[in-house]
Structure 1
Amino acid sequence: MNRNNLYGKKRSIPLSNKILMIASLVCVAAAIVVFIFFNRHQKNKNTNGSDIVLSSQPPTETPSEATPAPDPIVPSATTISQRFNVPSGYERVQAESESFAAYLQNFSLRDYDTKPLVYDTETKTLINNESAPSASVLALDLINRGNLQQSSDSLLRLYAEYLYGKGRYTDIAFNLLTTPVFRCDFDTWSKGGRLDLSKINEGNQISWCLDHSGDCGHKDVELGTSEGTFRYYLQNVMTYSDTSSLVTNMTKLSAPQDASVGDIIVYADPQEAPAIIVDLAVNPSDGSKVYIMARGGSPACEIYVVRNDSDAAINPWHKLSELPIGASVYRFK
């Protein structure tokens, strides 16, 4: 049997419909391709209009600029700890608020470019000490305008001024350069005691003169603890003191590396003036220490912070490990 006769003649699809179907398939295929492409390469726009590729990885952070190191010296600052920043890698030793160390770390300084005054033995006047290795000058006048307050006297003066400022009058006492050693204390002085020098030429002996009606009498003895009385006391102490008598008021450290603020450095060379540590910093990684020191001079010179001309990178700090051979460190008792 003829199949065409059984089912009838097969109908043909119009050409226009075929074209429409093909176009639809092409559109679907194109849409799939576009979807896949954008799914793999999805992009967005940043605020500047540039392309930002989205990623599952955390964004890479742009490293911030390193904080610049503080200036080693701040000329406008007015105290030791404020004017001189610690070297890189070190931390300043924080002193107890009422201690001698804190007194020194916070000691006032004169203007940065100031030169220390020194007594000129020719003109008998005070002039600028242009040769002193000074980084700054402490704001403390000489005890008088003469040639009295010399090297070790300057260090004695600082400790005495600290005690006086705290009202610790009974703690102010220093051994004089006498035989036997005579201890001159401010408490006795404030009550009218004065030095009996009648035997100063007989074995260098000094004692107290308490009865001013006798041969050792002093005229117009001022009692009390006024600043004038205190300064007059210091002038007498300085007259009969030197480095050798100063250290009798102190304890020698067995290990100089244990030095602290307020300790005194005495050098093997007697021509080198002793110095006092006025600030200290420690490197926490290895325990090494650097310090700032101050000293007076001979002839009488105002107390100044000593420069470090051999290591400008840490000036005016000095490495404690580089103390000169033979130097000793002492601490007030």
Structure 2
Amino acid sequence: MKKLLIIILLLLLTACSNSNPAQTTKSTVQEPTQASVTPSPAQEKPKIIINPNGKTVQERIRVPEGFERIAAENNSFGQYLRALPVKPDGTKIQLYNGEVTEKDVHVAVLDIDVGNRDLQQCADAVMRLRAEYLYSQGLYKRIHFNLTNGFNADYWKWMNGNRIVVKGNNTYWVKNANYSKEYSSFRKYLDVVFAYAGTLSLSQEMKKEPVENMQIGDVFLKGATPGHAVIVLDMAENKKTGEKIFLTAQSYMPAQSIHILKNPENEALSPWYSTNFGSSLKTPEWNFNQNQLMRFEN
């Protein structure tokens, strides 16, 4: 009986040592998971968001699937911005001197003149859009901007024939013109503002807003030398998820066409940006922090 037990044990040990080595090797090789072969969102083919035949911001830039534009009140700044005209699809960015830049940062160019001097740069483009809106509504008394030295350049005074004189650190008004609210005079006023104001002065007359409270017309603004500014041109929302997205527009240095920016971080969503961008908003030519969103107070 004892011999029989020993024989059985020997047979069992032999069977374990002769297990299939190929089967053992295969069990240690992992098959690729489904996630490892699925393309990332950045690799997916972008949805068709640009309508080449659109004549305005709202017509040119479609919203992504699942989103709808946020309502804007009649005659509001938001409604004005999304109704701005755009130049034909494919238009390149033009500098103030007529030269064309080949940089690839935009999806559309606003149909707004640049002027023929190196004035309408980043903060100036923001002030231009704000002033043009107020002028279009006849809200002349609300058009005013602080120059870098703190002087209040009030369009109402300009309209009544006063002109700004700058001598060194001294700035003052001199009445040497007739009353006029003609557009040509308004543009001359803006050129004076552009010459003596910038991101630093603009940041001192705007108030900060949390990103979750973003509205059309808000501005991402770095008030410094150098600084930069881009304006929120339009917004949309996914009602199911609550996610909000927005468009940005800018001018740059030297003075150039105001253009709608691409989103360099998300090709599938571009030119829209999600408000869930994290700690840093990365635009083609400048990065902003979350705490740099600002709003005009009046």
TM-score w.r.t. structure 2 length? 0.77
Give SS of 1:309's match. Answer: coil
Change (3 A) 1:321 1:272: farther
**1:231-273 deviation per Cα after TM superposition (whole angstroms, max 9, x unaligned):** 11111111110101112332111x1221110000124896563
Preserved contact between residue 135 and residue 316 of structure 1 (Cα < 8 Å)? yes
Tell me, in whole angstroms, the C-alpha distance in 1 between the residues paired with 2:264 and 2:196. 34
Is 1:321 the counterpart of 2:276? The answer is yes
Counterpart of 1:12?
A: none
Change (3 A) 1:276 1:222: same
Of 99, 102, 118, the residue aligned with 1:147 is: 118
Fraction of identical pairs, as percent? 31
Is 1:209 the counterpart of 2:174? The answer is yes
Give SS of 2:248's match. Answer: strand
Of 133, 136, 141, the residue aligned with 2:108 is: 136
Tell me, in whole angstroms, the C-alpha distance in 2 between the residues paired with 1:272 and 1:168. 29
Preserved contact between residue 295 and residue 305 of structure 1 (Cα < 8 Å)? yes
Change (3 A) 1:305 1:195: same
Change (3 A) 1:319 1:271: farther
Tell me, in whole angstroms, the C-alpha distance in 2 between the residues paired with 1:78 and 1:139. 10
Tell me, in whole angstroms, the C-alpha distance in 1 between the residues paired with 2:276 and 2:61. 20
Alignment of 1:1-333 (within 5 A): 71-119=48-96, 125-142=97-114, 144-178=115-149, 181-197=150-166, 200-201=167-168, 204-210=169-175, 212=176, 221-253=177-209, 255-267=210-222, 273-322=228-277, 323-324=280-281, 326-327=289-290, 328-333=292-297
Tell me, in whole angstroms, the C-alpha distance in 2 between the residues paired with 1:194 and 1:267. 29
Preserved contact between residue 247 and residue 260 of structure 2 (Cα < 8 Å)? yes
Tell me, in whole angstroms, the C-alpha distance in 1 between the residues paired with 2:103 and 2:225. 19
Measure how far apart 1:205 and its partner are.
2.7
Tell me, in whole angstroms, the C-alpha distance in 1 between the residues paired with 2:265 and 2:105. 11
Tell me, in whole angstroms, the C-alpha distance in 2 between the residues paired with 1:130 and 1:155. 23
TM-score w.r.t. structure 1 length? 0.69
Q: Which runs of 5+ in 1 are unaligned?
A: 1-69, 120-124, 213-220
Aligned length: 243
4+ runs of 1 displaced by more than 6 Å?
none
Measure how far apart 1:285 and its partner are.
2.4
**1:4-54 deviation per Cα after TM superposition (whole angstroms, max 9, x unaligned):** xxxxxxxxxxxxxxxxxxxxxxxxxxxxxxxxxxxxxxxxxxxxxxxxxxx
RMSD over aligned CA atoms reads 2.0
**1:182-241 deviation per Cα after TM superposition (whole angstroms, max 9, x unaligned):** 1111111111111132xx32xx2312223x4xxxxxxxx243100111011111111110
Give SS of 2:95's match. Answer: strand
Change (3 A) 1:207 1:132: farther
Q: Which runs of 5+ in 2 are unaligned?
A: 1-46, 282-287
Change (3 A) 1:299 1:222: farther
